[in-house]
Amino acid sequence: MLKIGLLGVGAIGKVIATALDRREVDATLVALCDQDRGKAEALSRELSCHPPVVSLEEMFDLSELAVEAAGQAALPEFVSKALGRGRDVLVMSVGGLLGHDEWFREADRQGRRIYVPSGAIAGLDGVKSASVGKIESAMLTSRKPVAALRGSQFIVERGIELDALKEETVIFEGLAEEAARAFPATSNVAASLRLAVNPSVPVKVRIVAVPGGNENVHEIRVEGEFGRLTVKVENVPSKSNPKTSQLAAFSAIATLKNLTRSLRVGT
């Protein structure tokens, strides 16, 4: 059975750990790691499999696949140590992968896998299929409640007063790479779309603040030789982290199921 180590036991990590504990996936949770050790120990006590709480290095020693659900800042150490020890990884903080093509090259060289679940968006299967042909444009519009944007570096640096907004307001327009830097905690969908589309095609991103909103709504639109694709997902936020959509954790679990089942549906 696939041995899984988990870095980050927050909103997403806890849902993944619980699914593994309930044997919803044909895999075992063999280690937990978090900068907040007490939080990881509390989760370990709650789970019936009581995984040990360990250092990052020990986690790689114990596991075959390491799952990251910690944050962009954790990625450089996580990915480089995982590849250094020849482990496959599943990454939720997708924005942190952009600009690090050397990790992809190293994984290729070693025959290792970097899994990026669809996260809070759908339709990446169609986007990948479309990218086999010529893509003319790719655009993401993300409508976010004020609570999901609060504290973002971009908002703080520009002194944007979210509570003063009376109507839907475009607060960011730029490329996916810029969105990933400006909103590290909430731009993973932009980064996933970036990785799914041919690198030569710019991926444009618009972020809209929605006063009184309570869902993270992502809409992708891609045009190309295949025709046109529009996908919209109205995400319910996680109860413990309004920046995170419930679908994101579910997508990680679905990816793990894909890895361990003989039948794989979808591109």
Ligand X SMILES: NC(=O)c1ccc[n+]([C@@H]2O[C@H](COP(=O)([O-])OP(=O)(O)OC[C@H]3O[C@@H](n4cnc5c(N)ncnc54)[C@H](O)[C@@H]3O)[C@@H](O)[C@H]2O)c1
**Tokens matching residue 239:** 């109860």
State which of positions 221-260 bind ligand X (CB under 6 A).
241, 244-245, 248
Which residues contact residue 102 at a Cβ distance below 8 angstroms, ignoring those fewer than 6 apart? Answer: none
Count residues near ligand X (CB under 6 A): 30
The one catalytic residue in 143, 144, 194, 218 is: 218
Chain position whose Cβ is nearest to ligand X: 10
- Judged by CB under 6 A, which of 107, 147, 160, 185 binds ligand X? 185
Distance CA 166, CA 69 (A): 34
Amino acid residing at 228: R
Least Cβ distance, residue 144 to ligand X (angstroms): 12
User: Does 92 contact ligand X by CB under 6 A?
Assistant: yes
Triad 162, 166, 169: Cα angle to 5°: 65
| Cβ-based nearer residue to ligand X, 226 or 241 | 241
CA neighbours closer than 13 Å in the CB half-sphere of residue 181 = 8
Query: Which helix (H) or strand (E) covers residue 28, if one does?
Result: strand 27-33
- Judged by CB under 6 A, which of 4, 5, 6, 13 binds ligand X? 13
Q: Which stretch binds ligand X (CB under 6 A): 4-12, 45-53, 133-141, 171-179?
A: 4-12
**Tokens matching residue 261:** 């089942």
User: Does 94 contact ligand X by CB under 6 A?
Assistant: yes
User: Does 11 contact ligand X by CB under 6 A?
Assistant: yes
Q: Are 232 and 193 in contact (CB under 8 A)?
A: no
Q: Which stretch binds ligand X (CB under 6 A): 29-37, 132-140, 162-170, 199-207?
A: 29-37
Query: Which helix (H) or strand (E) covers residue 149, if one does?
Result: helix 146-149
| Cβ-based nearer residue to ligand X, 77 or 102 | 77
CA neighbours closer than 13 Å in the CB half-sphere of residue 122 = 12
Phi, psi values for residue 146, rounded to 5°: -55, -40
Whether 218 sits among the annotated catalytic residues: the reply is: yes
State which of positions 120-159 bind ligand X (CB under 6 A).
120
| Cβ-based nearer residue to ligand X, 131 or 238 | 238
Q: Are 141 and 208 in contact (CB under 8 A)?
A: yes
User: Does 189 contact ligand X by CB under 6 A?
Assistant: yes
**Chain residues that interact with ligand X, rule: CB under 6 A:** 7-13, 34-36, 39, 69-74, 92-94, 119-120, 185, 188-189, 192, 241, 244-245, 248
Q: Which residues does the annotation mark as catalytic?
A: 218
